[in-house]
């Protein structure tokens, strides 16, 4: 069995009809990189940088501390691409102190709809630029992509790209070395999926965050046990938003992946392949089981039922 798994790890993920599929890892800490390689990931599709910010009493990590963490991941991935997502705090991922200045967000009425992720970053501009500078500097050491969570409208897109331009400018002025990054958006707010063409004009790639896309499409709090039975990835509205995002991205010639839990759940592999997805990012422990699904799949034979919903 061990030998079989060893072999599987080095087998590329290709369907029976020759479709090549990219299997990437979701990681949360710099020390997770070796495990991702061990699991056979061909890169990191989602580094949830917020875990550097959580569970600490005092200061948030500054540029240097973040740079060290990103450097470790980039070096740990040995030349494979690393997608670093800017902080996604708030809601299910609270900070000890939600503001650099005070505790003003502690009592958000509805934290999932509140100041989280990019909204929080844009409300803390100097903190945001520190993070962007740390990521750009890490990009000098290996292939790095930058991923922005929870964008919903074009003014947030503009403000994000302006912050990035300023971060680059600051690095140039200080004479620090930094690298180029591809910039991508998480598609996890239904509004983003519905204006996907605007996102595709502005970004190099997109990554679908199904955990939040389901939550916001169905108005079901992903952390609330009382409505957990209504949290339904098979809901046709969810599948339709995923379908549109994938097909619009392909039409625009932009890379698209899924990095929510659906990507690592073998119950959805055939459906996602059927919808045209060729890049999946998941917990490293799921890679071998998803790879086995892919090795067995024939995309020419995936019936209409797969895209039609629940099996």
Residues that bind Mg ion (CB under 5 A): 188, 209, 212
The annotation status of 119 as a binding-site residue, yes or no, is no
Which positions touch ligand PEP (CB under 6 A)?
46, 48, 88, 188, 209-212, 259-260
The residue among 209, 219, 214, 162 whose CA lies nearest residue 185 is: 209
Tell me how crowded residue 42 is: count the other CB atoms within 10 A of its CB: 19
259 binds, among ligand PEP, Mg ion, none (CB under 5 to 8 A by kind): ligand PEP
The annotation status of 212 as a binding-site residue, yes or no, is yes
| Beta strands in 109-214, from DSSP E residues, in sequence order | 144-148, 182-187, 205-208
CB of 130 to ligand PEP, least distance (A): 21
Nearer to ligand PEP, 196 or 302 (CB): 196
* Number of separate helices (H) and strands (E) present in the chain: 13, 8
| Beta strands in the chain, from DSSP E residues, in sequence order | 22-27, 44-48, 82-85, 144-148, 182-187, 205-208, 255-258, 279-282
Rounded Cα gap, residues 37 and 139, in angstroms: 19
Instruction: Classify burial at 102, counting beta carbons within 10 Å of its beta carbon; exposed 0-12, middle 13-18, buried 19 or more.
Output: exposed
Nearer to ligand PEP, 13 or 208 (CB): 208
CB of 217 to ligand PEP, least distance (A): 12
Nearer to Mg ion, 178 or 280 (CB): 280
CB of 233 to ligand PEP, least distance (A): 10
Catalytic residue among 138, 259, 263, 277: 259
Whether 293 is catalytic = no
List, as residue ranges, the binding site.
48, 85, 188, 211-212, 222
């Amino acid at each position: 069995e061990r030998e079989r798994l060893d072999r599987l790890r080095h087998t590329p993920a290709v369907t029976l009809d020759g479709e090549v599929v990219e299997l990437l890892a979701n990681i949360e800490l710099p020390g997770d990189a070796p495990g991702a390689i061990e699991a056979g990931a061909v890169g990191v599709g989602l580094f949830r940088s917020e875990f550097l910010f959580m569970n600490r009493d005092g200061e948030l990590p500054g540029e240097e501390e973040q740079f060290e963490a990103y450097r470790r991941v980039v070096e740990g991935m040995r030349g494979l691409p690393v997608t670093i997502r800017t902080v996604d705090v708030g809601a299910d991922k609270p900070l000890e102190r939600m503001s650099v200045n005070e505790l003003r967000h502690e009592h958000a009425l509805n934290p999932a709809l509140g100041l989280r992720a990019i909204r929080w970053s844009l409300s803390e501009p100097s903190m945001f630029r520190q993070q962007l500078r740390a990521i750009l500097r890490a990009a000098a050491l290996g292939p790095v992509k930058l991923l922005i969570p929870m964008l919903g409208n074009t003014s947030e897109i503009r403000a994000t790209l302006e912050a990035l331009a300023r971060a680059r400018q600051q690095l140039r002025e200080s004479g620090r070395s930094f690298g180029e990054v591809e910039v991508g958006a998480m598609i996890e707010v239904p509004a983003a999926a519905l204006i996907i063409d605007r996102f595709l004009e502005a970004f190099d790639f997109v990554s679908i965050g199904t955990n939040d896309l389901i939550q916001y499409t169905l108005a079901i709090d992903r952390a609330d046990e009382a409505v957990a039975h209504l949290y339904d990835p098979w809901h046709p509205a969810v599948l339709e938003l995923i379908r549109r995002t994938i097909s619009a991205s392909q039409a625009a010639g932009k890379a698209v992946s899924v990095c929510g839990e659906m990507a690592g759940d073998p119950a959805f592999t055939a459906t996602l392949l059927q919808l045209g997805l060729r890049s999946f990012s998941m917990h490293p422990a799921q890679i071998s089981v998803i790879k086995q699904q892919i090795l067995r799949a024939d995309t020419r034979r995936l019936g209409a039922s797969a895209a039609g919903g629940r099996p």
